[in-house]
Amino acid sequence: MTIIDRARDWASHDPDPATREELNRLIDSAVSSTADGAAATELESRFAGPLTFGTAGLRGRVGAGETRMNRAVVTRATHGLMSWLNEQVDGTPTVVIGCDARHGSADFRKAAAGVVAAAGGRALVLPAQLPTPVTAFAVRHLGADAGIMVTASHNPPDDNGYKVYLGGRVAPGPAEGVQLIGPADAEIADAIAAAPPADEIALAWEKAEHVDVLDAYLARAGEIGRTFPAADGARPNLRVVLTPMHGVGGSTAVRALEAAGFTDVHLVPGQAEPDPDFPTVAFPNPEEPGALDLSMELAREIDADIIIALDPDADRCSTAVPDADAPGGWRQLTGDEIGALLGEFLASRGENGGTAEAPVLANSIVSGRLLGRIAEFHGLRHETTLTGFKWIARTPGMIFGYEEAIGYCCDPGHVRDKDGVTAAVTMCSLAADVKGRGRTLRDELDDLARTHGLHATAPLTFRVADTSLISEGMRTLRSTPPRELAGSPVVECVDLLDGYRGLPPTDGILLITRDDDRVIVRPSGTEPKLKCYLEVVLSVEDGGPVPHGTAGARLERIRSDMAAATGMG
């Protein structure tokens, strides 16, 4: 079939009048006598192949066609999921369905629930516009066999997505409530490919059950915060600036913080309510430059103690702290700094995760190596996993896990995924404890550097319009890796496709220098980016100053060297 034939066939089976009309207009433009080729190119993009389960399930631009996120794609994806679930479990599969506030999210949630109910499943529909971690919580809390979360997390405004969690009957033990991995993802993909056209799939929205677990989730979040009193038993007042980045985490995070005893919380006015267009930020991601500008303005105005920034579906959490040496008097912590602070805080509190074995701190391979030193110091085990919480959250005995991309799992017994809301509660508990002792979070970081060495990390990211440049950059590195970084010889160069220290193969390159600097390069699993993860480790003299400036300068030299080495500088 030609692209035009495939597009016409898809349009004839599209159950959504809006996307069907959109696609028919595009077809007409592509075949008209005055066509300029742009419409044909757009059709090729929309039929470049079906969306497949990747790092975070399905993700794509909202629009008509098999390569876009739309009701037809969601309907067929859910049919494939239900076909697979009906083969995996005895009796009636139970599926929880939630959604954020992005374009199309509520409609996609309704379509997914209708398919589940019509396919013989029990569809438990959460209220619209709730954080992703509430859906992850609901899978374990309700004993569901699967969870569907309609979200594109921190992707650009035009995107949406479809994330799948598996319950205990399908994925028992520490995998209960975790995002799916292989072989389930490939098996479900095969079932989706075998699904009939969307308009031939039965829907039974009227049979869906509406459930609400938010109060239970908030009660647990408050319990987490109340287990971390200040050293003298009295928690000082903590003034918090909170931004949900135009996403769905604002009211939930405020209620969670209040349940934990934090009542002096100030939402950034221009970013407080859900808005799928994310009007005040270039990208709705707290890590992006400028994303916290409004938060810092408010923090200076009210003399806040801490800034908490959530991404749009509130599964990620960033933090900024007062810093007289930073421009504007505030500094955003790196994802690795937050991970080290939270890991030290939880490890020092003697958490055991309900297991008799030594508890585990876990992080992805691209995250910094400081958490491993912290675990060893406290007599805990440490595990390194592949990138992504579908790997981190599967770690047996884990009491805390994180990835450098501001994802933190502080309560794995209840949410087996990254959770920005409970991370915010835990970070504010730490900040209150530190404030009560007359110290700052920067003091805590410096103490970690004096104990374990300064582990300074930084990202180097190349966003591209042409994704072939990513493959070309990886080929360049594999064929001609750098011989030295920041003047130190590269003593270890590992192609992660061959596996590494017991980890399964993954697309990436790892470099370690004689000075113990480390770089990992990999393609992003969710965005058109080539990502480099840089880490410098420097010793700190006993009682001496922490060499932040030296580390920063060294990171800049490595950044320049890697830009040249990838050919993307």
Give the active site residues: 153
Among 176, 177, 155, CA closest to 58: 155
Residue with tokens 């930084």: 458
Structure-token pair, residue 456 = 């300074």
Distances (CA, A) of 552 to 292, 429, 443, 543, 562: 21, 29, 18, 21, 15
Q: What Rg, from alpha-carbon coordinates, does the chain have?
A: 24
* Angle at which helices 105-118 and 71-88 cross, to 10°: 40
Rounded CA separation 426/483 (Å): 42
Coil, helix or strand for 518? strand
Contacts (Cβ under 8 Å, ≥6 apart) of 533: 366, 367, 404, 457, 459, 519, 520, 521, 522
Rounded CA separation 528/277 (Å): 20
Specify whether the backbone of 303 is left (phi greater than 0), alpha (psi in -120 to 50) or beta: left
Asked if 404 and 457 count as a contact pair (C-beta separation under 8 A), the reply is yes
Residue with tokens 């319990």: 223
Backbone angles phi, psi at 437, to 5 degrees: -100, 10
Q: What is the 3-state secondary structure (H, E, C) of 394-430?
A: CCCCEEEEEECCCEEECCCCCCCCCCHHHHHHHHHHH
Rounded CA separation 93/219 (Å): 27
CA angle 33, 36, 37 (to 5 degrees): 110
- Provide the 10 A C-beta neighbour count for residue 512: 18
Buried b (16+ CB within 10 A) or exposed e, 373-395: bbbeebebbbbbbbbbbbbbbbb
Amino acid identity, position 361? L
Rounded CA separation 383/136 (Å): 22
Asked if 221 and 425 count as a contact pair (C-beta separation under 8 A), the reply is yes
Which helix (DSSP H) or strand (DSSP E) does residue 110 occupy? helix 105-118
Rounded CA separation 541/302 (Å): 38
